[in-house]
Amino acid sequence: MASTTARVGSIDIGTNSVRVLVAELEGPSGLKRLWGGRAIPRLGSGLGSSGKLTEQAVERTISIVGNYLEKARALRAQKLLAAATSAVREASNRELLLERLEKTTGLRARVLSGQEEALWTMGGMQCVWEKPPEEWLAVDIGGGSSEFILARGNRALEVRSVSLGMVRLTEEFLKGDPPSEKEMGRCRDRVRRSLQEALGDLGLNQMTQLAVAGTAGTITTLAALEKGMKYYDGEAIHGTRLQRHTVRKWLSRLSGMETRARRTLPGMEPGREDVIVAGVLIVEEFLNMVGVEAMVVSDHGLLEGIARMAPLLGQPLT
C-alpha cells in the first residue's frame, strides 16, 4: 500500500447495489472517509434464471457508476478502482457491461474472483477490531454470493465464496408477498445445504468460542432496523453486536409483512425491502450453524478493501 497519504476512490459493483467511496489512505492501515454513496440498480436481476445481465440493468448500473466517477474526480481522487463481483463474474454476457462501461466512461472495472472478493472484504473489515481476535470468522452476505473468511489475527487462513445471495434466493424461492411458509421452508433448506458445504469446508462445527464479524447491506440494515434509524449512520452501528435472537425476531416480523409495509420501517434501506427476507434468513441460519449468540457488525467491508488496493491497481484520475 501507499506509504504516504493518498486520496483514492473505490466503486463496488454488486449484484444488488453499487457503492462508492472517496477516502484518504494514511500509511498501510489508516483510512479516512471523505464521501460515500450507494444506489440499487439490481444489476443481477433475472441472472439466476437466464444466466445473463439485462440491457436495462446494465444501463442503470453504468449511469450510476458514471455519476460516481465524476464525483470522485470533483473531489480530486488521484486514483480510482472499480471492482465487480458475483453478477458480473457469473454472467455469460459480462462483456456487455464491461465494454460499454469503458466506452461510456473510460473506466475499466476489475472482475473479482470469489477468493479475491473474500480477501479484499476481510482487508476492509479488520478495523472493526481494536485488536483482531486470535481466530475469527468474517462473513459478507451479498446479493448474488456470500463470502466466509477464517482468519487468525490479520491473516486469512481459509476463504470460501458460495453462490448464495439474497437476490438469487428471492427470485428463485420467495415469490409471494409476503412469502408463504412453504416458500420460506424451501428457501431455508437451500440456505442450509449451501452453508453446510461452505462452513464444513472451513472446518467449523459449533465452534462456540469463535468470534464473528459480519458486513454488507443485510447485516447493516438489521442493525439499523434494531436501532430504528430514520437516517442511516454507519459509524453508529460499526462495532455494535447483532444478537441471534434479534435476527430471529426480525426474520419473523419481516417475513410476515408485505413489501410496501417493510419499506416504511425506520432503518430499511430503500430498494432492499423486497429482498431483505432472504438475506436475514441467511444470517439466521449462519449464526445457528456456527453456534454463536452474536456477531460484531462492520460498516466497513469490500468497498474499503477496494480502496486499499486502489494505489496499486486503480486508474489515475489526475
List of residues 6+ apart from 278 with CB closer than 8 A: 166, 167, 169, 170, 173, 174, 187
Give the CATH class of 6-114+303-316: alpha beta
- Specify the pLDDT at position 207: 53
Grid coordinates in use for 203? 472446518
CA angle 244, 249, 250 (to 5 degrees): 100
Q: Which conformational region is residue 228 in: left (phi greater than 0), alpha (psi within -120 to 50 degrees), or beta?
A: left
Gyration radius from the chain CA atoms: 18
- Specify the pLDDT at position 76: 96
In the chain, CATH 3.30.420.150 covers 125-297
In the numeric block, the cell 472495472 is attached to: 109
In the chain, CATH 3.30.420.40 covers 6-114+303-316
- Specify the pLDDT at position 120: 93
Q: What is the CATH number of domain 125-297?
A: 3.30.420.150
- Specify the pLDDT at position 2: 40
**305 touches 122 (CB < 8 A):** yes
pLDDT along the chain (318 residues), means of 10: 74 94 84 92 90 95 97 96 94 96 96 91 83 87 90 87 92 95 97 90 66 92 95 91 97 97 95 95 94 92 94 91
The whole-angstrom separation of Cα 224 and Cα 40 is 18
Q: How many CB atoms lie within 10 A of CB 148?
A: 26
CA angle 299, 222, 155 (to 5 degrees): 40
